Structure 1
Amino acid sequence: MTTQALKQGAARVSRRDAMVAAFLALFLGSVLTFGTGMAAPDAVHNAAHDWRHSMGFPCH
């Protein structure tokens, strides 16, 4: 692949779209971090345990 082909295929993202994506990623990360941090340890363990089973990973 040539440099010309790479330049033509590159998507252009506006600054506003990049800021919106960054804010949403920060918000989601904060919700996950603080939500897990504030949850009871048993609730977090059970959620992870159920996820492992739903993905087909053996855990015991």
Structure 2
Amino acid sequence: MKVTVDEAKCCGAGQCVLIAPEVFDQREDDGIVILLESEPAENLHVTVREAAAVCPAAAIEVSEST
């Protein structure tokens, strides 16, 4: 799995951080997403997909690696 974020789309809702804090964080000044782990461990894949699905700005993209 490969995760990318589009900071320009991010609205700072923070849902990703609540769901997958091992993979996402937020900047202190404006709440914009910070990607901590672009290739998360397999045990985090379900939560990362959920975080991407609930992102109100669709700022998280998940691609499956082969």
TM over 0.5: no
Bin of the TM-score, shorter chain as denominator length: under 0.3
TM-score, L = length of structure 1: 0.27
Q: Larger helix proportion, structure 1 or 2?
A: 1
Q: Which has more radius of gyration? A: 1
TM-score, L = length of structure 2: 0.25
